[in-house]
Amino acid sequence: MTPRPTRPHRLLHDPNARLYLTAVVVSGFGTSALWLASGVWVKDLTGSNGLAALCMLAMWAPTLAGPALGTLADRTRRKPLLVGANLLLATLLLTLTTVDASGDLWLLFTVLFVYGATGVVHDAAESALVASAVDHTLLGDFNGLRMSATEGMKLLAPLAGAGLYAAYGGPAVALLDAVTFLAAAALYARLRVHEPGPESHRAPNPKPPTPTWRTQTAEGARHLWRHPRLRPLVLAGGTTMLFAGLNGAMIYAVVDSLGHSPAYTGVLYAVQGAGSITVGLLSGPALRHLGERRFAAYGIALTAVAAGLRAIPADWLALVCSAASGLGLPCVLITVLTAVQRETPDALLGRAVATANTLVFAPNVLGLAAGAALVELVGLRPLLPILGAVWLATAVPLLHSPASADPTASRSASDANPA
């Protein structure tokens, strides 16, 4: 008897899924390489730590406009939008090959800002198109593999980018990133998807009213707020990333308490990244077995406990806590994206994904700022246990939710045991 293929095995044999994941790996490599090199580039040209830090701000700031930018993914066909976004970024990055003095930094910051804005639109369109191109029963597996691929690139690409920068300078890194986006555009162009135009979602009215951009943007937020399964998951994701920002702001204080130099943070981040790669590979089966809310809640709980235990100055415990954070933190992120893809009509999906990403990831910036202040005012030892306890409490509502609010496990059980 021929063994039945596992769901991840089925996913990797799906041509569209393979193309998506390959594009994620290719473009993610270039993005992660530029992420590190751009700050070093600015630091070398100006000697300013503040200006170097603005590189990350320029790339992250457009996330705040996610609901409005995501609307574009619902107003046009998503496959051409993905191809065009990658070609646009490739073209813009080529202009950075002219940056060789501090007076040219306006161009670098402008490109990084457009880079971030285009990335918001790109992520919304990609997530929406994946939901229509990949079997819904495999979305958890896909999003987990995507997480593993992204985290894997974060481990490898910055080192490659730093080496390339050291040898040939910032323009070489920009050129590498441009090439990766050209390759990603070619991969997205090969997708075989049937995608109706946005006009097909409209009611058959000979003179339908034309909704404003603001009205269309609000529809995505309204859907998330009114949906009984999505609202608690998105709120849990935003709260988790707020506390993750607080926790992340204390990393240098943790390293200092261990008696190591700041460079030791790279070791902790590498261990955390390995944990994220692992949970990405396991997320599909875990989502089916536990259901959305329990999977998210267990991940939050694991991360919260790890945050609290980091107050104890021991090398082995710091490594264990970093691995636990890497395992726990992605659980709620994967759950939120998968749930939004499953529970949102296609006509709203771009806006809903972009709005969810803003609500989940924007609090991280606030957490980083608050954590930087609190660690100076309160100190590491009392702050981390308090953070862990409050963070742990946020998982309780998900564990006590009605069974009817989380049908994932029951659906997967019926899939596994067909009548």
DSSP string, 155-198: HHHHHHHHHHHHHH-HHHHHHHHHHHHHHHHHHHHT-------G
Instruction: Give the whole-angstrom CA distance, residue 408 versus residue 297.
Output: 14
What letter would DSSP give residue 211?
-
What is the pLDDT at residue 56?
76
3-state secondary structure of 389: helix
Contact 398, 234 (CB under 8 A): no
**What CATH number is given for 217-414 in this structure?**
1.20.1250.20
Would you say how long the chain is, in residues?
A: 419
**What CATH number is given for 10-192 in this structure?**
1.20.1250.20
Contact 36, 153 (CB under 8 A): no
What is the pLDDT at residue 253?
82
Residue extent(s) of CATH 1.20.1250.20 domains in the chain: 10-192, 217-414
What is the pLDDT at residue 340?
93
3-state secondary structure of 209: coil
Look up residue 77 and give its two tokens.
């066909």
What is the pLDDT at residue 108?
92
CA distances from 204 to 199, 201, 208, 209, 373 (A): 10, 9, 8, 11, 56
H-state helical runs in 190-314: 213-226, 230-248, 251-257, 265-290, 292-309
Answering whether pTM is above 0.85, one says no
What letter would DSSP give residue 227?
-
**Mean pLDDT split into 10-residue runs, the chain, 419 residues:** 54 80 88 82 82 79 86 87 94 93 90 92 88 80 87 80 86 93 93 66 51 77 90 94 88 84 77 90 90 94 95 93 94 93 89 91 84 79 91 90 48 38
Instruction: Give the whole-angstrom CA distance, residue 79 versus residue 89.
Output: 16
